Structure 1
Amino acid sequence: MSAGRLAGRYSLLRPLGAGGMGTVWQARDEMLDREVAVKELTLPEGMSPKERSDSITRAVREAQATARLRHPGIVALHDVVVENDRPWLVMELLRGRTLAETVREFGPMPPDYAARIGADVLEALCVAHAQGVQHRDVKPGNVFLTGSGRVVLTDFGIARQEGQATLTEQGLMIGSPGFIAPERLEGQPGGPASDLWSLGATLYTAVAGGPAYSGSAAQRVRATLMEPVPVAPGPLGPLLAAMMAHHPSARPDARTAVDALRQVAAGAEAPQLPVTQTVTAPTKVKRRGGAARWIAVAVAAVVVVAAGTTAFLFLQGEDDGVPSAFTVPMDVCTLLSSQDVGGVLRTQNPPEGRPDGDEVGPKCSWPLSGSGVGLQVQKDSDTVDPWSMSGDSARRLFQNQKRYWTRFKQISWTWPEIGVNDSRKALRTPLRPIGGVGEEAFAFELKGATGRVHTAHVFYRLANLVVSVEYSTLANKPTDDDIKQAALRVAQASERTLRDAG
């Protein structure tokens, strides 16, 4: 990257999200004078040459698969740049929110609205399937709803093209538990009907407000393979159950499903499906040992596939009291007690937590005039929410955060709720590893024009969660060390709450 530009053309403006495969940036194409999204692939340290090669191959495959597709329901790929020994994907910039974020914030969708989304996504999938491309990771987090009403299918990062060898070695599954079709869990490559199943599971989440199969990764795999297909509430229930039939041949064809979805979107009832497309449990198919194998792998490894949907049970694991994974969604504002907040802010009347969130994850702040505490549980851009992160994803995200913050020595800082309404320049102190919190942690501070520290940050990882903590004060009395210790105490208090919940 030269002169602050990628390929001398793309200026990176700000990060939109960090995932296990890297960081997505909002950028400007200086040549065409337009804003774009740039996906930067960053590889974790300690990878073997084969793992590095596979990661790069996966990114290049995303480019190959997406570049062939032209449809308003598929995110457009503009360019691929190889620089700094890694590929950068230049895509159209979408503004809005994912289906997962929408359901999480507003709850179940009206059936007609969900049906329109489903029809739009399925028509986009039909375009991909016609060109021999299977998406393989259709889920709420990969369906984007723009402010203009456009429905866009994103992230063809694990797409499979007919006639092309799969990225993964035999026996390794890629996808999101609860959204992977049964035949793919059994080790088959799948096909268009597998994407249809995943779309059915996605729309189930939309109309029910939660996933069809909940629990740990292993429990979701087991339920997908062994349990009867659940029926969602409302007029879409029978159609979605048909789309999620255990055997591919029992599912409706894409055109039939699109027509049925369009009818529901128009306010009519879903048409009666042909008798052969039963929504009850189909005839048993040969398992080839796949179910037992995948369940065993998921139990042993906790998550062998990319975590995909909100789950509702803890996975207890380590003897030191740390769960293998935290999978119960928690109100972030409950991670600190009023005593914790009052002690750090030095007040007997601590403020109530103010819940918020962004593309990085849910957060909460406790602001007073002149000081405040902030806390966020983070996720990568490939995962629905922090509670669906795997341990490996959390480790990669933690390392990506370290790399991200080392890039910026001067930071524009503002916090209107504590009285900093204008943007102020702050200098970042060097990142340093710290102990006493989490399984790994680092910290840094921000200094103002006087050279005094006014803000301290702590990032720590506990199992599959990455937590960031911020403490700021405008007062002159606390020393720099006081401010550092205050942020550390906040981090330790939040960790205690997580461990107690686990």
Structure 2
Amino acid sequence: MPDKEDFATRYRLLRRLGSGGMGTVWLARDEMLDREVAVKELTMPPGVDEARRADLIARAVREAQATAQLRHPAVVALHDVAVHDGKPWIVMELLRGRSLADLVEERGPLPPRQVASLGAQLLDGLAAAHARGIQHRDVKPGNVFLTDSGRAVLTDFGIATLAGTETLTQTGMLIGSPGFIAPERLDGEQGGPASDLWSLGATLYYGVEGVAAYEGEAVARLSAALSGRVRPPRLAGPLTPVLMAMMTRDPAARPDAGSARWLLTQVAEGLVPETPGVQAPPPPPHAPAFPVPGTPPGPTPAPVPGVPPAPGPAARGRSRLWIAVAAACLVAAAGATAAVVLLGGGGERTEFTGPVDFCSLLTPAQIREITRVPRPPAGTPYQGGCAWTVRGSGVALVPHAGDDAAQPWAMSPQAAREFLAARERSYEQTQQITWEWKEIGAGRLNAATTPRRAVPELGEGAFAHDLTSELGRTHTGAVHFRVLNLVVEARYSTLSGRPTDADIRDGALKAARWARTALQNGK
């Protein structure tokens, strides 16, 4: 990290781009690399003593270092962090465009298909962050940036924390914005990836409706979130069931990231989403049910099997509501930021020591999204991993190990790293091979491997390559990656002429990304 003299010499501030509760953003020029960047000057609270200031700076630097691990089109890239004039400064990718909040304020509600497309992009960015143990914790319209080139980008991971890492303020400190904080976090729980999914749902709700899901002052919005009362959308159309599922009160009843992305993709493509198993549960006890405009009144629906009704505020205890009121007071004092103290902890896996159920790593919705078949096949054991096959198409997860390892999980993390590097070197040049996959109807075919290409978003050493036919058309995409001491290859093959070469590569990348996330989450 550069010292203050290095920072002042390298980065020349040109003009202020904006300011908010977290600090001021400047347009600057990186004199060393001769490029324009965005520099965020984080604001220190007034009146803090030196010890507290040092703690806040250390926290900001640590969280910036966490964000710097991310390399994804839907996450703003962080280039540098420094301490200058007693304040942290974060150097970021310069984005040209406007925030979702500004766009909706200027143009009003956006079409459901557009919002669904934005949501799918943002969900990919969140999945990449969650795969590294990072939660955003403040997904909201103001932190979603829409670039002039069409990218949807998550900004301001400044309050994200590495999962399992104690922050330097207080253990489990949670920060977020009223109306966009997941109810379980307000309710005194640590929260997790499902909490970011809830906040994304609330953000997309704002994008398509033009208003937040909760009305009123901060206290009213927090109380409504605690009780699970989501105002039914009026303009979302086919996006409605997706939003209601993402904003379900119970985190366990929300769709996983893969299912949510599939549903958003359906809406973005102009289809009516299939939402079996992801409908929002009925309103909790003591919470008034909002009638959906245009539907006749009817009895209260029965609870979803296997999902207990979300308890109302009375069941949670008066103390929970007072936590929300206290958070709202902090909002008024700190400028639209609420803080709740939670408890945290938990261990972290260091390596795999036994067999992995590879068939549990991908969901039916994820297989359906890759293969585009109405009824996704079930996974079956395949080459030590798992395969999902239909006639003419298949997805597979295959573990690999060196010759001296009896089982894929028998390698050490260092041995796995070296083994993956050796596999990468073996794909540096095009090779002619004979390929077959009988389960999808592919006999022995002549094929060529393309030179490997790096996939940095999947971690150190991850790479991809394709198999092409004698006519040069891609029929198989393969992505190799490592999680701790496990090296895995994700494949997607199709004999159909409909998917493009890019579609096939994207299918393999999705399988790898989702499988890697599942492995890191302990499945």
TM-score by length of 1: 0.57
Classify 1:173/1:21 alpha carbon distance in 2 versus 1 (closer, same or farther; 3 Å).
same
Identify the residue that residue 291 of structure 2 maps to in structure 1. none
**Match of residue 265, structure 1, among 258, 268, 273:** 268
Specify the code of the residue in structure 2 equivalent to 1:251. Answer: R
SS of the residue 1:35 aligns to: strand
Identity %: 57
1:101-500 → structure 2 map (5 Å cutoff)? 101-169=102-170, 173-233=174-234, 234-274=237-277, 278=281, 280-281=283-284, 283-285=309-311, 287=316, 289-298=318-327, 303=332, 307=336
- 1:13/1:26 contact within 8 Å kept: yes
- 1:23/1:39 contact within 8 Å kept: yes
5+ long unaligned stretches in structure 2: 285-307, 339-523
SS of the residue 1:261 aligns to: helix
Identify the residue that residue 502 of structure 2 maps to in structure 1. none
* Whole-angstrom CA distance in 1 between matches of 2:278 and 2:128: 28
Specify the code of the residue in structure 2 equivalent to 1:238. Answer: P
Specify the code of the residue in structure 2 equivalent to 1:34. Answer: R
Specify the code of the residue in structure 2 equivalent to 1:188. Answer: E
SS of the residue 2:263 aligns to: helix
Following TM superposition, by how much is the alpha carbon of 1:7 offset from its aligned partner in structure 2, in angstroms?
A: 4.2
Deviations 1:406-443 (A, max 9, x none): xxxxxxxxxxxxxxxxxxxxxxxxxxxxxxxxxxxxxx
Length, aligned pairs only: 309
Classify 1:262/1:306 alpha carbon distance in 2 versus 1 (closer, same or farther; 3 Å).
farther
Following TM superposition, by how much is the alpha carbon of 1:231 offset from its aligned partner in structure 2, in angstroms?
A: 2.5
Classify 1:214/1:3 alpha carbon distance in 2 versus 1 (closer, same or farther; 3 Å).
closer
Deviations 1:147-204 (A, max 9, x none): 0001100000110211111455369641100000011001211100000000000001
SS of the residue 1:174 aligns to: strand
Following TM superposition, by how much is the alpha carbon of 1:52 offset from its aligned partner in structure 2, in angstroms?
A: 1.7
- 2:21/2:336 contact within 8 Å kept: no
SS of the residue 2:238 aligns to: coil
* Whole-angstrom CA distance in 1 between matches of 2:56 and 2:162: 17
Following TM superposition, by how much is the alpha carbon of 1:272 offset from its aligned partner in structure 2, in angstroms?
A: 2.1
Identify the structure with bigger relative contact order (alpha carbons < 8 Å, sequence gap 6+). Answer: 1
5+ long unaligned stretches in structure 1: 310-502
SS of the residue 1:72 aligns to: coil
- 1:61/1:158 contact within 8 Å kept: no
* Whole-angstrom CA distance in 2 between matches of 1:269 and 1:44: 48
* Whole-angstrom CA distance in 2 between matches of 1:300 and 1:155: 23
Identify the residue that residue 288 of structure 2 maps to in structure 1. none
SS of the residue 1:17 aligns to: strand
- 1:229/1:246 contact within 8 Å kept: no
Following TM superposition, by how much is the alpha carbon of 1:56 offset from its aligned partner in structure 2, in angstroms?
A: 1.4
Following TM superposition, by how much is the alpha carbon of 1:235 offset from its aligned partner in structure 2, in angstroms?
A: 1.2
Runs of 4+ aligned structure 1 residues displaced above 4 Å come to: 1-5, 170-173, 279-282, 298-302
SS of the residue 1:90 aligns to: strand
* Whole-angstrom CA distance in 1 between matches of 2:111 and 2:153: 19
1:7-18 → structure 2 map (5 Å cutoff)? 7-18=8-19
Identify the residue that residue 30 of structure 1 maps to in structure 2. 31
Classify 1:81/1:246 alpha carbon distance in 2 versus 1 (closer, same or farther; 3 Å).
same
Classify 1:179/1:302 alpha carbon distance in 2 versus 1 (closer, same or farther; 3 Å).
closer
Specify the code of the residue in structure 2 equivalent to 1:126. Answer: A
